[in-house]
């Protein structure tokens, strides 16, 4: 008799759980349909270019480059600056071996340089730029003074990119 009561109790409990999950599931599934944003509103939130409007166009038109990025690499010991060349003639300054590149972080009050290794040379690409190719250079961040999220400037000869955010 006791076994029958336990079995009935288990059955009732299982039935209750199943019934409650059945009742709860449709409510959760009835979320409101997502509303489509107008093109103007969506454009404000999504910006594939890292620069707001004019800045990106400026680098494209004046310097022939885009996709400027600054990344924290090698556990912060190196800051890597990359860019893509659109116009090889305009981008020559960025690859000029004679132009000494600097990364300036006004908040940390530092000016980083591209190190030169004995067997490798400068940690930067300085070949003749070609359209469609991406190039890089690495700045020594000894002591990890430049942090992720910092806004920095990269200076290479007459070229200057301000407000780049370290990723």
Residue 1 located in a structural domain? no
Residue 67 located in a structural domain? yes
> Which three-class secondary structure state does DSSP give residue 107?
coil
As for how many domains the chain has, the answer is 1
Average the pLDDT over each of 27-36, 59-68, 78-87, 112-121 and give the range with the smallest value.
27-36
pLDDT value at 101 more than 80: yes
Q: Confidence band (pLDDT; 50, 70, 90) for 119? A: confident
Task: State which residues form the domain around 149.
Answer: 50-165
Q: What is the pTM of this model?
A: 0.68
Q: What is the mean pLDDT of the chain?
A: 80
Between 54 and 98, residue with greater pLDDT = 98
Residue 143 located in a structural domain? yes
How far out from the chain centre does Cα 130 lie?
24
Q: pLDDT at position 7, please?
A: 54
Q: Confidence band (pLDDT; 50, 70, 90) for 81? A: very high
Residue 120 located in a structural domain? yes
Residue 43 located in a structural domain? no
Residue 145 located in a structural domain? yes
Neighbours of 81 (CB within 10 A): 25
CATH number where 109 lies: 2.60.40
Beta pairing, strands 101-105 & 151-156: antiparallel
Neighbours of 95 (CB within 10 A): 20
3-state secondary structure 44-106: HHCCCCCCCCHHHHHHHHHHCEEEEEEEEEHHHCEEEEEEEECCCCCCHHHHCCCCCEEEEEC
CA distance 14 to 42: 47
Q: What is the pLDDT of residues 17-63, one digit of tens each?
A: 444 444 444 444 444 444 545 455 444 444 444 555 688 889 999 99
Task: Look at phi and psi of residue 155 and say left if phi exceeds 0, alpha if psi is from -120 to 50, else beta.
Answer: beta
Residue 59 located in a structural domain? yes
Residue 124 located in a structural domain? yes
């Amino acid at each position: 008799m006791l076994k029958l009561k336990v079995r009935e109790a288990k059955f009732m409990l299982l039935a209750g759980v199943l019934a409650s999950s059945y009742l709860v599931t449709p409510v959760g599934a009835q979320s409101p349909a997502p509303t489509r944003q107008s093109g103007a509103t969506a454009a404000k939130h999504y910006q594939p270019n890292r620069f707001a409007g004019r800045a990106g166009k400026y680098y494209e038109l004046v310097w022939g480059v885009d996709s400027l990025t600054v990344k924290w690499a090698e556990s912060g010991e190196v800051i890597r600056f990359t860019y893509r060349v659109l116009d090889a003639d305009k981008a020559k300054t960025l690859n000029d071996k004679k132009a000494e590149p600097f990364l300036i972080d006004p908040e940390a009050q530092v000016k980083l340089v591209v190190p030169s290794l004995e067997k490798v040379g400068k940690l930067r690409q300085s070949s003749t730029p070609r359209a469609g190719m991406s190039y890089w250079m690495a700045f020594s961040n000894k002591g990890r003074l430049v942090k992720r999220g910092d806004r920095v400037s990269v200076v290479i000869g007459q070229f200057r990119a301000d407000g780049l955010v370290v990723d």
